[in-house]
Structure 1
Amino acid sequence: MSLSDAVNKHLKTPSPQLCAVTLLGNLVATPDIRYRANPATAVTEIVLATSSKWLDKNTNKYKEWTSYHHVKVEGELVEQALLQANKGDIILLHGYLSNIKAKATDKSTNHLGIVHANFVQKFSKGYTQAINQIHCSAQLTSQPKLMLTEQNKEITQANIVINQHIYNTEKQTWQTITVERAIHAWGKQALYLAEHGNIGDELMLEGKLSYTSGFNKDQFIEVKNVHLFKGT
């Protein structure tokens, strides 16, 4: 039996699951708005920057990390919130993870993770406390692995699949899309996931969207809280 067959044996028949992403941050550039024909529909892809701060216990100083989220916006949302938007404006949006490959902002990057917006609100330029949150239910597709980082911190990594029931504005119909992502859990959550999680288990995650530092900038979920529901 191959590894893929062994994984599929433990997975349940797909059912609709939760995937809710909330972001509040600044526009990296003025939106490039285009229109699809038949029917004429506005569409754009924006990049939203969110920053987070944490205390480095080694230096007792705060450090800051900025994440850049690629977001697809379609239809009335574009015309209502983004026609007058400019670089630096504050954007609040809600959406879900998508399989669409984001456009690279330059030739040296190839962003693979994107958020599909279903709510957008624009505010004037200025500084605001950023929001980067994701809540999702999912299913484990790999056995969680507990490791130690170079800083001797415990991290557990695993892969999940999310089956989202979403409304396709272009086709004007409901459909289920399947999205796969890696998850990273730290500290007590890392131990809990490594000790109790198995392929096929369902789980509820609370965390934020992060991106690898390599060429592809792969999107993953940094887990803050995880709840496991054992598979049958």
Structure 2
Amino acid sequence: MYKINSPVQNHHLCAVTLLGNLVAKPDIRYRANPVSAITELTIATSSKWLDKKTNTYKEWTSYHHVKVEGPLVEQALLTAEKGDIILVQGYLSNIKEKSHLSIVHATFIKKFNKGYTQTVNQIMCSGQLTSLAQVVTTPNNKTLAQMNITINHQDYSIDKQCWQNHSVDRELHVWGKQALYLVEKAQIGDNVMIEGKLSYLATADKTQFIEAKIVHRLT
């Protein structure tokens, strides 16, 4: 059995699933001691919604930066090309890669040939609220609550042969009735479980945040 140094009750869930198209052919590198393959990918997922003002469907594409290392690289990515369909499971990390602070670190990856598929962008996580919810009204008169969450989780590094701790801070966006409930009830330090997707602000650094579909308040 592996030894875990910190109490289990302080750990949170952090599971990301992405299915989308590879934006560019991977640049696979190797590091020494021990020799291990490593690469970073960008995967595109898309979502559609109905614009009620124009009664037309619009599409938004999100670009996710994924780090892959170890045997996963050679098992799945040696023949990967731009446009291939990539399935990833992993977790959020703040490891900086190519100026991107918001990385999905892959624990599973599989390549499929080029083609069309419905994309998947999903995160299930738990954590603690670190700020009170602030109400924001969008130009379309929809209610949005913004707050911050900290996710503390672990993974076992095959290369380093040890457990690694990750502490990830993300902004959380919640819509509709759930937003009003959290503004009224949620407190700093509350434990929550979230089902949602990864989104990115329209800023120069494309700051990553979690857009919640369902928030379970556990406190």
- The normalised TM-score by structure 2 is 0.94
Match of 1:206 in 2: 195
Match of 1:188 in 2: 177
Q: Cα RMSD over matched residues?
A: 1.3
Match of 1:36 in 2: 31
Q: For 1:94-132, what per-residue CA distance to the aligned partner results, in whole angstroms no more than 9, with x for missing partners?
A: 00000112325xxxxxx3211000000100001100000
Tell me which amino acid in the other structure corresponds to 1:213: A
The within-5 A match list for 1:49-198 is 49-104=44-99, 111-198=100-187
Match of 2:15 in 1: 20
Deviation at 1:142, TM superposition (A): 0.5
Deviation at 1:52, TM superposition (A): 0.5
Sequence identity percentage: 65
Tell me which amino acid in the other structure corresponds to 1:121: K
Tell me which amino acid in the other structure corresponds to 1:162: I
Indicate the SS of the match to 1:189.
helix
Deviation at 1:176, TM superposition (A): 1.9
| Conserved? CA contact 1:51–1:130, under 8 Å | yes
| Alpha-carbon separation, structure 2, partners of 1:228 and 1:94 | 25
Indicate the SS of the match to 1:112.
coil
Bigger Cα displacement from structure 2, 128-137 vs 93-102: 93-102
Deviation at 1:14, TM superposition (A): 7.4
Deviation at 1:62, TM superposition (A): 0.4
Indicate the SS of the match to 2:11.
coil
Tell me which amino acid in the other structure corresponds to 1:80: Q
| Conserved? CA contact 1:31–1:44, under 8 Å | yes
Deviation at 1:58, TM superposition (A): 1.2
Moved over 2 A (4+): none
Uncovered stretches (5+) of structure 2, i.e. residues with no partner: 1-7
**How many residues are aligned here?**
212
Indicate the SS of the match to 1:83.
coil
Q: For 1:52-107, what per-residue CA distance to the aligned partner results, in whole angstroms no more than 9, with x for missing partners?
A: 11111111110000000000000110000000000000000100000112325xxx
Deviation at 1:151, TM superposition (A): 2.1
| Alpha-carbon separation, structure 2, partners of 1:112 and 1:213 | 15
Uncovered stretches (5+) of structure 1, i.e. residues with no partner: 1-12, 105-110
